[in-house]
Amino acid sequence: MHGTIEVAASGPNLRPDAETMPDLPVYRLPLVRGTPENLKGYGEIIDHPDARKIDITRWPSQGWRQVEAGTGDQGGTTEGPFAFRWQGDALRARNDAVDDNYVLGWSQLPSKVNYERASGPRNELLMWRANYHPDGGQMFFPTEPGPFVVTLALPGDDITPESFTTFWFDGGKGLYIHANIWHEALCPINDEMTFFGRQGKVHARVGANFPKEFGCYLASPLRKEEMRERL
């Protein structure tokens, strides 16, 4: 992938650019290797995009009457490229599977972000939000070599910054995360990276805004030397 990832200037897909965000304290997360053992409860490492079926969550019942068997989980899946690119100090992404685009965060505090070139070492990603999908799991499989990280938290709406962990992947294999797992997509260590993505077609999304809820940004480490082997 080359060129610029376009981010909508208005409408439901808008994500905030740095100039709209305040400088706030940073909560630095632990970095661990993405292994099957460390990912228990979060998801799985996969060797091929078709190695695992996407789980679709049955539509919940509204009372004591249950959703009938064979119904409520027939929405199917959607798939397509999920492209990530650093634009100076900002990480942008586009998910063609759901026709959405994002500003995932920055490598500097918002007041110091430069969109033309990196203004300093890219040591961490400052994230302003995370979300989860109650309708089903989600799969990311790299279409090119290169390491990446993903920040995850286990299910539950009462999260705190301490709930999150950043996982390091050397590349070459994909990641499947379960429904209800908190995440904010993926972050390439290099300038850009594209994944093949597949997820539930309903694409229900429940989000958390870290500046508004916790008065801080969450920092995902991007330096391999900070990684430890186990949770």
Q: Quote the pLDDT of residue 8.
A: 38
Query: In the numeric block, which tokens belong to residue 9?
Result: 């200037």
pLDDT digits (tens, 9 = 90+) for 56-115: 999 999 999 999 999 999 999 999 999 999 999 999 999 999 999 999 999 999 999 999
Residues, the chain: 231
Q: Can you give the pTM of this predicted structure?
A: 0.92
Sole residue written with tokens 């060129």: 3
CA distances from 127 to 18, 81, 85 (A): 11, 22, 15
pLDDT digits (tens, 9 = 90+) for 54-70: 999 999 999 999 999 99
Rounded CA-CA distance 187/163 in Å is: 19
Q: Quote the pLDDT of residue 4.
A: 39
Instruction: Spell out the domains of the chain, with CATH numbers in brackets.
Output: 18-55+75-226 (2.60.120.480)
